[in-house]
Structure 1
Amino acid sequence: MNTMSLLPLPKVPMAPVTSPNIPKGSEWGYQIKWDGVRTLARLDGNGGVELFSKRVEPRNTTFPEIVDLLSPLRVGPCILDGEIVYFDGTRPNFQRSRLGVQKRSGNDDLLFVMFDMLNDNGEDLRSFPFRDRYSRLAAKFPEKSPRLFVTDLFDDGQSLWEWLIEREWEGLISKRLDSPYSEGKGHKDWFKKRKEVRIVADVVGVKLRDGLVSSLVLQYENKYIGHVSGLDNASKKLLLQFMHDHPGDCPFPSLSQGMKKSDVVWLAVHFPCRVTALEFTDTGLLRQPKLLGFGAGGGEV
């Protein structure tokens, strides 16, 4: 019988819920939030490796270097939960790790950081408390190699958060130590707190409502990232004149149905604005963006 078939996968991995707070108490443990590509790895114990995305889609051809990294392991059949990460020497760099989504030659700079284990030698661990799953994972991989290791578990969330923010890392995950492995976000056991996103985006369009300026359509790294409001009346008046003076074309190859139905005036002349947000969503959009000001620095709105 195929060993892999004895190791059932979740429909979706367990996902942390965004929260502005770090829960406190002895029932909580804390881990670094590695900024990379969420990945499940199923090993048959004899060199067979299957990688899956957070949508549980096959990813062996996307990350052949991670398959090569895991194939020599002889730790028995198991399912590992972790993150494929590009470490730039200072911090994990998500934009670089996303290159793995595109077809390219192997990159031996990618790491696989493990934080949970769903199955160990055919034993389904998902109903076990997180502390037990983590202990078994740490015992299975006691050594930290440069490209393959189990991330640490801390008992002081606030100190870890301060360490991460000082070094401009992404954030932390708080995990209830007695929690089972629950699929998706239908739980109150894992929470993520991210540092605030601050970027300089390009304004490429003006969104109208009832003929009046409503919000700014944003582009970042040549991609649509959403729109931001928060304009005062003086700014709206200036933008109304600016869009009439500089009408242009949509810079994006495709738009969502919602954007297609929106009343947008595209601009021939783009200009920068400073924006903050809670995070980038899985689809690449800013979550709860706020306008800080125009230009790369200086005057606030």
Structure 2
Amino acid sequence: MAPSAPRPAGLPVLRPMLATPGPLPVDGAEPRWAYEVKWDGVRCVVSVPGDGGVRLVTRRGNDVTAVYPELAGLGDRLRGRPAVLDGEIVVLDERGRPDFGLLQQRMGVADPRRAARLMHEYPVHLVLFDLLHLDGRSLLDASYEERRAALSGLDLDAAEWSVPGCVAGHGQEVWETTRANGLEGVVAKVLSSPYLPGVRSADWRKTKHVVTLDVVIGGWSEGRGGIAGLPGSVLAGLDGPEGLRYVGSVGSGLSDLERRDLARYFEVLTRDRSPFTERVGVAAAHWVEPRLIAEVGYSGWTTAGRLRHPTWHRLRPDLTRLD
């Protein structure tokens, strides 16, 4: 982790407000809500003391100022305007979409020379979507609508950072647009809502686009604690020209009953060698004959060809893979 930058004098230390997972607001409630893109990156609170400095702190409280040197210029941009802002650090792919796999190339790099080199290979972009403190005045009790207006008034659009627009009402149109453009989802926010640091509030609602896929189970890894001895996750693959290609480990969403059922199937299908065409970097993996098909949900693909945010949906007994 990069060394901490000095805490900006006179600015409050705030944790980001969090959204509650849920469906889009129903049509009748839409006038109360504004809609933003859900960005697939690293959330951070940005403190700018007004003297040309800047400090970036993640949701976990880690100071990452030195990790992203291309964002230092925001301090000069807001010189004389001390502020605390809320945003997300992303790396955009060639189509302008956030790619978490690319962002991972930048995360945790503390060495200044390496950070400077990676800055040119994987430049980050800071998406700013809220303003918590400005010119010595707290905006926490101001409405979301008022805070967004004040943020837009700072005129912060640049190559390294921007303030994307939000749309009041018209949630379904925003939903369809984000899906068509391959974005992660939508965040809906009540126009009158205050900013509640560190609180997961129902006034902010996040809804992801989830795509499902049928995958082949080629192995499993053991769970821990109360599920020791049972599958903690399954190792998934897809058929390709050269055989079964590994696409990731899926454990989220498995119930205890499903783990026990899978354990019985795996006992019959056990094999000594991996069925995948490439090395699978999972410690103490158990291999099975690639016969079972499962439906999983995912939000996209990493640059390494792995499923992004995979979740277990169900076993597909109606489908069986035959070699």
TM-score by length of 2: 0.71
Cα separation, 1, equivalents of 2:47 and 2:141 = 18
Match of 1:94 among 75, 95, 100: 100
What is the root-mean-square deviation of aligned Cα atoms in Å? 3.9
Q: Which residue of 2 aligns with 1:290?
A: 313
Q: Which residue of 2 aligns with 1:30?
A: 35
Q: CA deviation at 1:3?
A: 9.0
For residues 219-267 of structure 1, the C-alpha deviation after alignment (integer angstroms, 9 at most, x for no partner) is: 7989755264686999776532222x3278x9545xxxxxxxxxxx842
Alignment of 1:205-284 (within 5 A): 205=220, 216-218=233-235, 225-226=250-251, 228=254, 238-243=265-270, 245-246=271-272, 252=282, 266-268=285-287, 275-277=295-297
Cα separation, 2, equivalents of 1:217 and 1:133 = 45
Cα separation, 1, equivalents of 2:216 and 2:66 = 33
Q: Which residue of 1 aligns with 2:18?
A: 15
Q: CA deviation at 1:100?
A: 2.1
Say yes or no: does 1:71 pair with 2:71.
no
Name stretches of at least 5 consecutive residues in structure 2 with no aligned partner: 1-5, 238-245, 275-279, 301-306
May I ask how many residue pairs the two structures share in their alignment?
A: 278
Letter in 1 for 2:251: G
Letter in 2 for 1:246: D
Higher mean alpha-carbon deviation, 232-241 vs 167-176, is at 232-241
Q: CA deviation at 1:273?
A: 5.7
Q: CA deviation at 1:149?
A: 1.1
Q: CA deviation at 1:34?
A: 1.4
For residues 34-72 of structure 1, the C-alpha deviation after alignment (integer angstroms, 9 at most, x for no partner) is: 1111111111112111110012221112222222x3233
Q: Which residue of 2 aligns with 1:261?
A: none
Q: CA deviation at 1:184?
A: 2.9
Q: Tell me the secondary structure at the aligned position of residue 81 of structure 1.
A: strand
Q: Tell me the secondary structure at the aligned position of residue 206 of structure 2.
A: strand
Say yes or no: does 1:158 pair with 2:172.
yes
For residues 126-184 of structure 1, the C-alpha deviation after alignment (integer angstroms, 9 at most, x for no partner) is: 1111111110000012x633332101110211100001111221001000011111123
For residues 165-210 of structure 1, the C-alpha deviation after alignment (integer angstroms, 9 at most, x for no partner) is: 1122100100001111112344211000001154658643265999
Q: Tell me the secondary structure at the aligned position of residue 117 of structure 1.
A: strand
Letter in 1 for 2:101: Q
Cα separation, 2, equivalents of 1:115 and 1:292 = 40
Q: CA deviation at 1:213?
A: 7.1
Q: Which residue of 2 aligns with 1:262?
A: none
Distance 1:116 1:242, change over 3 A: same
Name stretches of at least 5 consecutive residues in structure 1 with no aligned partner: 254-264
Q: Which residue of 2 aligns with 1:105?
A: 115
Say yes or no: does 1:48 pair with 2:74.
no
Cα separation, 1, equivalents of 2:44 and 2:218 = 34
Cα separation, 2, equivalents of 1:238 and 1:84 = 43
Letter in 2 for 1:39: C
Cα separation, 2, equivalents of 1:166 and 1:118 = 32
Contact 1:82–1:115 (8 Å) recurs in 2: yes
